[in-house]
Structure formats: C-alpha cells, structure tokens
Amino acid sequence: MQHQDQTYEGFSGTIVTDPAHSGPRPGVLVFHSIAWRGPIEMAAAERLAAMGYAAFVADTYGKAPDGPEECRTLMNGLNADRSELRRRIEAALDWMRGAGETNGNHAAIGFCFGGKCVLDLARMGHEDVKAVASFHGLFDKPTWPGAPRFPASVLALHGWDDPLATPEQTLALAAELDAAEADWQILAMGGVGHAFTNPGANDKAGGKHYDARATERAWAAAAQLFATTL
C-alpha cells in the first residue's frame, strides 16, 4: 500500500492507495474514534484501498493527543460544539475532493465518535457523498438542522447492547432517516456492544467488547453498500 501524509487546514491526514489500482477511483473518508488516528483506522484504510478505493484517513482534533484524557477532552469539546465539528468534517471532505485521487464519487466510514462524524456528513446533504457506514457510532443529532433530504445511503453497523447508542436512540435515528427520505439500513447485532471492531476492547460488563464475528459481518455489509453505490 502507498501511504501519503498530508496537511489540510491545520489538520493532518493520510491518503492510502493500492498500486494495483490505477487512475481516479471513488474516495472514502475514514473518521477516527475517540482515540484519534490509530491502527484500526489505518487497517481500515488499507482494506478499503485493497477494494479499489482511495482511502483518506481524516483528523478532527488538529493535533496528536497526549494520552486518553486529552483524547476525551478534545472529543467532548467537539461534542459540545457540533458546528465546529461540522466545519472540520467539511474540511476533510474538501481535502478528499481536491487531492486528485478520486473520480468524484465519495463515501465515508467512521468508528465510535467517527461514526457520529459520518452520520453528520450524511446530514449535510452533499450530492457527491454516495454512502456512509457508521461502525458502532453515536446517534445523537447535532444542534444544526440537517438537510431536508439525505442523498447518501446510510448504513449503521450497531451492537444492540451498545450503552452509548440505546434502543431508543436507534429508533430515533431510524425516524430521522425516514423523515429525510434516506436510503438507510441499520444492522443491529444481538449480544454485541460498543467498540466491537476494537481488539483491545475487553470491558464486557461495561458494554464495550471486541467481537470478531460482528466485525466481519459489519465489513461485509459495508463492502456491499460501497460496491452498489460508488
């Protein structure tokens, strides 16, 4: 894989492509979890590149956090200011658009906090964003109004036992997507909690635990979505 580190509007990002695929191709933004850009995001980008996409591993913090406490502080700041988070998501989208690697068809995936980011991206209503896939994302709506119609196909890959996205919040997301006339799917997996794609998550009592089967089911659904929309 080819990794190309870049900066955009004060943020740092990485473009990952597979030399086996040449020329412009669909681009997929990868939004990070609370823990910033790490092995999970980079592995996801390489997986997307192997599928034939140009993967753009985005940054919403603007700096490399100094440990878990700073990660939480930075994430909480953006949760409290969703308009600023929106600006940073837009900056990442503009970076992908302007990088010269894509054919004008775009998508996004995100993990945990990044799952919230891709849902917010869908809420913006960009016509060139064809699909988003949220992996164990957060479903709370932003303070700004979403577009009246969401052009992007939306896939929420969700553990039903996730304490950070309750059944009530899941149903509220479905109602929101219906109201926006979105093409949407929610893959809700029983016995699965938050952070199910993270091999380091082992707090089953707290509802955060790795699940290899759920991870592969989620990736299969995301791959199928992108194959039919990009």
- The CATH number given to whatever domain includes residue 114 is 3.40.50.1820
Q: Give the domain range for residue 87.
A: 2-229
Whats the size of the chain, residue-wise?
230
- What local confidence, expressed as pLDDT, does residue 11 receive? 96
Q: What is the pLDDT along the chain (230 residues), one digit of tens a residue?
A: 999 999 999 999 999 999 999 899 999 999 999 999 999 999 999 999 999 999 999 999 999 999 999 999 999 999 999 999 999 999 999 999 999 999 999 999 999 999 999 999 999 999 999 999 999 999 999 999 999 999 999 999 999 999 999 999 999 999 999 999 999 999 999 999 999 999 999 989 899 999 999 999 999 999 999 999 99
Question: Looking at the 3D structure of the chain, how many domains does it have?
Answer: 1
Give this prediction's pTM.
0.96
Pseudo-torsion of CA 54, 60, 66, 72, nearest 10°?
Answer: -120
| CA dist., res. 106 & res. 138, Å (int) | 22
Q: Are 112 and 138 in contact (CB under 8 A)?
A: yes
Calculate helix-pair angle for 82-98, 113-124, nearest 10 degrees. 80
Between the two ends of the chain, the Cα-to-Cα distance in Å is 21
Query: For 34-42, which contacts have Cβ atoms below 8 Å and span 24 or more sequence positions?
Result: 34/71, 34/72, 34/75, 34/112, 34/113, 35/68, 35/71, 36/61, 36/64, 36/65, 36/71, 40/111, 40/197, 40/198, 41/111, 41/114, 42/14, 42/16
| CA dist., res. 178 & res. 149, Å (int) | 9
